[in-house]
């Protein structure tokens, strides 16, 4: 073994152990955050109450609308429309988009300087906190809403085997990753402008429209539907497609789009975060 290759191996092992340490910290923080979230049952119940009202109103709206037209619209039945909207709001209940608020506040208040001096990756630390709390928040509403909808309108027709479950998990997780990356990228803009909040609103509303919050994507005009599929705003909410009749057929395309956006955001974040850290001066105090 040459000196050069020994160095490479050492560097590799060092990188490897650093990666493991970061992963260990990430899951440690995530676990603590989740346990903390689950320790507040009143908050979880109030989250469920909000979701119940929102889905309940949409239920009434679409029950009336489908009764009025008397048929499926663009191949979408009443059951599929309600499940699609409910899934949107269940994912919304994770509050992952508020990663923007956390990072934006850290930057604007200067708190970030106290976190970056710690031996953890700042962004991973924030992601772990948000994800832990988000999963804790989502767990109860996911079970409760699924039970309520399953008992009232049933599960839409289609093949729902183990493969389908795995596809649903994959598409949901990738969507959550896009959400974290996209909103944290906007938040990093606070290093250059006084407050990036207006950009948050605009992106948030694009997700609201193109993610299928109030109107399922299948009911959109074709041009908007295509934009929803190929933009990161729609890609973050592909989980709402899982009951669509053509989900299995489109699955590979949907995952491909998600992976592409994750790669794009990772590159952008690496670049922007690096530049942002150069602008940061830690003054102590």
Partner 1 sequence: MNTKKILEELKVAWLISKMNYRNEAELKTSFMVQVIGMVVNDAAFLFVWLFFFSAFGTINNWSYNETIALQGYIALTFGLAFSFGDGARYLAERVHNGIFDNLLLRPKNLYLSIVTSNMQISALGDVLYGLILFGIYIFVAHPSFLQIFLLLTMAIPTTLIFLNIAIICSLVAFFVPDADKLSKNLFEVFFSPSFYPSSLYTGAIRFVFFFIIPAIAIGGVPVEIVRDVNIPMYLVIWALGIGWTILASFLLKLAVKRYESSNLIGARE
Residues that bind partner 1 (CB under 8 A): 40, 42-43, 46-47, 49-50, 53-54, 57, 60-61, 64-65, 68-69, 73-74, 193-195, 197-199, 201-202, 204-206, 208-209, 213-215, 219-221, 224
- CA 140 to chain CA centroid, Å, is 17
Q: What angle do CA 216, 222, 226 make, to 5 degrees?
A: 80
Reduced DSSP (H G I as helix, E B as strand, rest coil) percent helix, strand, coil of the chain, to 5: 80, 0, 20
Smallest gap from Cβ 175 to partner 1, in A, equals 19
Joined tokens for residue 279? 């602008």
As measured in angstroms, the least distance from the Cβ of 268 to partner 1 is 21
**Helix 247-279 vs helix 222-230: angle between axes, to the nearest 10 degrees?**
50
- Tokens 């709402």 map to which residue? 240
Shortest Cβ 206–partner 1 spacing (Å): 7
Give the up-direction half-sphere exposure of residue 144: CA atoms within 13 A in the CB hemisphere.
18
- Between 99 and 174, name the residue whose CB sits nearer to partner 1: 99
Our CB check for partner 1 shows the closer of 172 and 213 to be 213
Least spacing, CB of residue 254 vs partner 1, in Å: 21
Q: Which is nearer to partner 1, 221 or 284 (CB)?
A: 221
Q: How far is the CB of 25 from partner 1 (least distance, A)?
A: 26
**Pick 209 or 248: Cβ nearer partner 1:** 209
Report the residue number, 133 or 178, with the smaller CB distance to partner 1.
Answer: 133
Task: Report how far apart the first and last C-alpha atoms of the chain are (Å, whole number).
Answer: 49
- Cβ distance 233 to 258 under 8 Å? no
Whose Cβ is closer to partner 1: residue 73's or residue 264's?
A: 73
Task: Give the Cβ contact number of residue 95 at 10 Å.
Answer: 15
* Closest listed residue to residue 42, CA positions, set 123, 113, 140, 119: 140
Closest distance to partner 1 from the beta carbon of 22 (Å): 29
User: Of 113 and 204, which has the nearer Cβ to partner 1?
Assistant: 204
Q: Coil, strand, or helix at residue 216?
A: coil
Q: Closest approach of Cβ 131 to partner 1, in Å?
A: 17
CA distance 41 to 52: 16
């Amino acid at each position: 073994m040459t000196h050069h290759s020994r160095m490479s191996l050492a560097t590799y092992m060092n990188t490897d152990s650093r990666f493991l340490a970061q992963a260990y910290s990430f899951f440690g923080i995530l676990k603590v955050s989740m346990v903390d979230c689950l320790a507040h049952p009143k908050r979880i119940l109030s989250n469920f109450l909000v979701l119940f009202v929102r889905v309940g109103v949409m239920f009434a709206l679409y029950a009336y609308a489908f009764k009025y037209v008397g048929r499926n619209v663009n191949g979408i039945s009443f059951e599929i429309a309600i499940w699609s909207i409910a899934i949107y709001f269940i994912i919304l209940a994770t509050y992952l988009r508020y990663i923007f608020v956390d990072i934006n506040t850290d930057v604007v208040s200067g708190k970030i300087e106290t976190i970056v001096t710690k031996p953890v990756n700042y962004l991973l630390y924030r992601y772990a906190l948000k994800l832990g709390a988000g999963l804790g928040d989502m767990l109860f509403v996911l079970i409760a809403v699924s039970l309520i909808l399953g008992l009232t309108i049933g599960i839409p027709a289609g093949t729902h085997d183990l493969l389908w479950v795995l596809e649903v998990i994959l598409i949901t997780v990738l969507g959550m990753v896009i959400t974290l990356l996209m909103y944290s990228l906007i938040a990093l803009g606070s290093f250059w402008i006084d407050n990036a909040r207006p950009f948050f609103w605009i992106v948030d509303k694009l997700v609201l429209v193109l993610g299928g919050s109030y109107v399922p994507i299948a009911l959109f005009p074709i041009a908007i539907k295509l934009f929803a599929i190929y933009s990161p705003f729609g890609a973050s909410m592909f989980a709402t497609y899982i009951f669509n009749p053509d989900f299995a057929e489109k699955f590979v395309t949907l995952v491909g789009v998600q992976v592409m956006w994750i790669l794009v955001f990772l590159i952008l974040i690496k670049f922007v975060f690096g530049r942002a850290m150069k602008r940061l001066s830690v003054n102590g105090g």
